[in-house]
């Protein structure tokens, strides 16, 4: 299992568009991908509704946990998404 922390960097928070991009990029992977808030609340990163239910704001830190056969490749994609601010 891989885990890494990231910070939301958007004045609009983690809104519909970045959540949609996350779901689109994570769905092809076999690994389980979870996004967790600091308070322990978590969501499946392949679920748009789940991600939106987290209500993440600008500056919040989240932890991404990935577990499965293709976890390394999935984490590389997650790192790129956060590095490029989900293409915004």
Catalytic residues, by residue number, are 15
Backbone angles phi, psi at 50, to 5 degrees: -60, -45
CA distance 13 to 58: 4
Element (H, E) at 63: strand 61-67
């Amino acid at each position: 299992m891989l885990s890494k922390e990231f910070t939301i960097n958007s004045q609009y928070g983690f809104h519909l568009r970045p959540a949609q991009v996350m779901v689109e990029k994570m769905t092809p992977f076999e690994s389980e991908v979870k996004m967790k808030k600091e308070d322990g609340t978590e969501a499946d990163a392949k679920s748009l509704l789940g991600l939106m239910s987290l209500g993440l704001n600008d500056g919040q830190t989240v932890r991404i946990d990935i577990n499965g056969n293709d976890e390394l490749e999935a984490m590389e994609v997650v790192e790129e998404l956060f590095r490029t601010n989900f293409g915004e």
